[in-house]
Chains A and B, each alone.
Chain A
């Protein structure tokens, strides 16, 4: 149980990426939240993933609307 909750950065980054593509289990969610509350490195990584998500969404939406084939000004 404790092993499931206290994970290395390597495992936690894997979960942070996997939650983009699947729903994490309850223990996994607790593990991520606890880890992020004490780990600045993985918190930064999470911010990077969030930025990439927003960037892809924005890229997608301008790929589908009229106007210059360029990102919004």
Chain B
């Protein structure tokens, strides 16, 4: 194997670690997943025939290693921490089920999604989701597992899963509202 290959892997390592952290929300598990990914890549560099981009290939391996970690630690990975109990619905809705406040107009999605800074804010928002919510949310969105697959891997009920995803999405929305849209009123003024 060429040194060149090894040094290319090394260069991508920090990015892999970032994705593993966002998904696993545990430093040790994330480091293990990334090490296993790099070992797998170094063991069979010929499997990467240059048919795709190196990063695409590595991220593909990483996803499997991340799922291995989630399986291995599923009991800890699905612990519901106290901050999961905050009732977001209570903050958003009056007792009669009506919105307390009009949801903000987020403007034209094309304009928002063109701004790289928006994604920096979104990543920061993902990082502050409660860990268990973040894990199942990322399993759906990044690992692209179906709801059934997530329930099976994590041994949780579908009802539990929906509650977790519901909270994750409401929190992400709140965070984007305060972290991006409140700070960029000009984008939504029209």
Which residues of A does B touch, CB under 8 Å? 8-11, 13-14, 17-18, 20-22, 40-42, 44-45, 47-52, 54-56, 58-60, 62-66, 69-73
A72 to B112, CA, bound (A): 12
Minimum CB–CB distance for B22 against chain A, Å: 9
Knowing A14-B166, A71-B116, the reply to whether A59 touches B123 (Cβ < 8 A) is yes
CB pair B109–A54 under 8 Å, yes or no, is yes
CB pair B116–A73 under 8 Å, yes or no, is yes
Interface centre among B89, B166, B169 (most CB of A within 10 A): B169
CB pair B59–A63 under 8 Å, yes or no, is yes
CB pair B103–A65 under 8 Å, yes or no, is no
Question: Can you sample 8 A-B contacts with CB below 8 Å?
Answer: A17-B165, A20-B169, A21-B147, A48-B173, A56-B122, A70-B119, A71-B118, A72-B116
Describe B's contact surface by its main secondary structure: helix
> Chain B 55-71, CB within 8 Å of chain A: the 1/0 string?
11001100000000000
**What is the total of A-B residue contacts with beta carbons within 8 Å?**
108
A66 to B92, CA, bound (A): 40
Minimum CB–CB distance for B169 against chain A, Å: 5
Closest 9 CB pairs of A and B: A8-B97, A71-B119, A71-B116, A10-B97, A66-B53, A10-B93, A44-B103, A51-B109, A41-B99
Residues of A within 8 A of B93 (CB): 8-10
CB pair A60–B113 under 8 Å, yes or no, is no
Q: Does B74 contact A (CB under 8 A)?
A: no
Q: Does B190 contact A (CB under 8 A)?
A: no
Minimum CB–CB distance for B184 against chain A, Å: 13
Residues of A within 8 A of B102 (CB): 40-41, 44
Q: Does B98 contact A (CB under 8 A)?
A: yes
Q: Does B158 contact A (CB under 8 A)?
A: yes
CB pair B56–A66 under 8 Å, yes or no, is yes
> Chain B 107-131, CB within 8 Å of chain A: the 1/0 string?
0010011101011101100000000
Knowing A41-B102, A54-B113, A64-B56, the reply to whether A69 touches B15 (Cβ < 8 A) is yes
- CB < 8 Å neighbour of A22 from B56, B141, B147: B147
Knowing A21-B161, A70-B116, A71-B118, the reply to whether A52 touches B56 (Cβ < 8 A) is no
Within 8 A of A (CB), among B58-102: 59-60, 89, 92-93, 96-99, 102
